[in-house]
Amino acid sequence: VSQTLASLSFTISLLFSTYREEMRRYTKNPKIFIKIIIATPAVKVYVNAMERLLFILMENV
């Protein structure tokens, strides 16, 4: 299970860094960039799904 969590966290960080790079391309201003991340519903939904998945994995340990 720890291997699953490790690969999962790696995937999450990979996706977020890709997302960050995309956003950086759109705006050079970090404050605007942070606002975009906070305001993006797709990211919120994704994070919620990941949290739920991690919780389920932890329950099965």
Domain range summary for the chain, segments of one domain joined by +: 2-59
End-to-end CA distance of the chain: 7
pLDDT at 20: 73
Write the pLDDT tens digit of every residue in 6-40.
Answer: 887 888 777 777 777 776 676 666 676 666 666 67
pLDDT at 61: 64
pTM over 0.85: no
Q: Is 60 exposed, middle or buried (0-12, 13-18, 19+ CB in 10 A)?
A: exposed
pLDDT at 13: 79
User: What does the alpha-carbon distance between residue 22 and residue 17 come to, in Å, rounded to a whole number?
Assistant: 9
